[in-house]
A and B are shown apart, each in its own frame.
Chain A
Amino acid sequence: MNHLLEILLALSLVFNFVLLGSTRIGACVIWMAMQGALYSLVPLIAGEEITPRILVLATAALAMKGGIFPWLLIRLRRRTSFHFEVEPYIGFIASLLVGVCLLAAAATLGQRIHLTAGGYNEGLLTTAFFTILTGLLLITTRRKAVMQVVGYLVLENGIYLFGVGTVVEAPMLVELGVLLDAFVAVFVMSIAVYNLSRKFEVTDVDKLAELKG
């Protein structure tokens, strides 16, 4: 198997745990961006040959995941809140331990599923599942609205990796469309969080439950 890909996947597994253990929103955004950048390089490394199509896709993904998303989020965090802490519902050590359980679940899942088409290897599937689960964990256990966006993007990273590993030849239009969707989602979420913070002066998602229509 491709050794470079293996190292890259192991690195991104570690990034997931760093995301779960980070106490600062800014750090989370940076790690999320680095993970996204790593994943956008996967098609270049894993494929047998580099076609112009792959090159365009990888460049677009790199620009989005490694540049535009983190830039939007850092800007958002700077405007919305004076507190840079993540403020989780469950502690950071507990998050890490839950992460280990999720990793075990992802590994089982990665070994069980046998894909007929594509499928570079089990490690890639395991990493993709684990990244998806990490994104879900971040969304459900973090209090700040900005972290929900980070969690969504981690989830998106995982889905992207799953797509790269399983779908051999998706039309370029579809893949670029998915990237554009994610971009619009982040854009809309930033505006929503920004307006929330302007209106209510908090971005704590706990407070959202108290809103009445």
Chain B
Amino acid sequence: MALISSILVPASGLVLAPLLVAVINRVKARIAGRQGPPLVQPYRDLAKLLGKGAVYSTTTTWLFRAGPVVSLATALAALLIVPLGGVAAPVHFTGDLVAVAGLFGLGRFLTVVAALDTGSPFEGMGASREVTFAALVEPALFLALASIVATTRMGSLSSAYGAVDAALWSAAAPTLGLVAATLLVVYLVENSRIPVDDPTTHLELTMIHEVMVLDHSGVDLAFIEYGAALKLWLLGMLLVGLVVPVRTANPWLDGAAVIAGLAGLAMVVGLIESTMARLRMNNVPALIVGGGVLAAVAFVVGLNP
């Protein structure tokens, strides 16, 4: 039973992650008064891209080809470690939160290196911005996860999230609330959503993430899109697993509650994207540092019960 449920955690992510992108797009379309693409559109896009051949510039080296592969591989590896709320992930060990953050960092590093490898100044600009914001968002993510671990007194992510139940929420509401706020900021920044970056724009001087993947095509682009969807799912699990404290003994029920919460999160992101404008580039660090500060407050409040 435990084995089946722990295999269920990564499997649900593998299958449902692109749906999260579709829900966000659908909410945005509905608010704008449009019909919006069908919910299976991301799957169709992925199938189409996987059927195409990739084109490589003659100035690029193996690094350019390694970028998409490694970024997808790191997302898949992280999917094995992050728990689905109370349902433990297949792999868990003490300090695995560092491994998850490290996997995100490795994926980003290879994406950045691949972007620089093209020699395009445009992509270099995007890479520079991505790395700048990543340097600020990583401490925030670490502090947030460390606060959860410190509050629950558990070593691994799976056991820590397993201990976040309604009783803990009523005992340590300030800490968990602040951590949830930080994780929302981290979610928007890491997935390049709207107050920070606009995922729908290509060829605009203000964009960050999309500019780095301009030269990828075909299968490589499919890898990148799928990896991005998985990242949306992974960070969503970290946030929703905390906010939805449904911890019955039944893993199916717990998992279903978190998956429903992820759909809710996608709607919230759609709402944020529809109602907010992108921040001016030099105001973004203030947002990220602010998020990190919330986590620092959470950490102090958590240590000071």
Inter-chain contacts of B269 with A (CB < 8 A): none
Q: Judge if B58 is at the interface, Cβ distance under 8 Å.
A: no
Q: What B residues does A123 contact at CB under 8 A?
A: 301, 304-305
Please, which residue of chain A has its CB at the minimum distance from the CB of B301?
A: A10
29 interchain pairs (CB within 8 A)? A1-B305, A3-B170, A6-B174, A6-B301, A7-B173, A10-B174, A10-B177, A10-B178, A10-B297, A10-B301, A11-B174, A13-B300, A13-B301, A14-B178, A14-B297, A17-B294, A17-B297, A21-B286, A92-B286, A93-B286, A93-B289, A96-B293, A99-B293, A100-B296, A103-B296, A110-B304, A111-B304, A122-B304, A123-B301
Point out the residues of chain A lying under 8 angstroms from B260, CB to CB.
Answer: none
When distances are taken between beta carbons in the complex, the residues of chain B under 8 Å from A7 are 173-174, 177
Are B304 and A104 in contact (CB-based, < 8 A)? no
**Which residues of the other chain, A, contact B178 by a CB distance below 8 angstroms?**
10, 14
Chain B contacts for A11, CB-based, 8 A: 174
A126–B305 Cα gap in the complex (Å)? 11
Is A97's beta carbon under 8 Å from chain B?
yes
Of B173, B178, B303, B304, chain A has the most CB atoms within 10 Å of the CB of: B304
Contacts of A182 in B (CB 8 A): none
- Bitwise, B166-180 to A at CB < 8 A (1) or not (0) is 000011011101100
Range for the number of chain A residues in contact with chain B: 20 to 34
Q: Which residues of A contact B296 (CB under 8 A)?
A: 100, 103
Given contacts A10-B301, A126-B300, contact A93 B173 (CB under 8 A): no
Give the shortest distance, in Å, between A60 (CB) and chain B (any CB): 28
- Residues of B with C-beta under 8 A to A1: 305
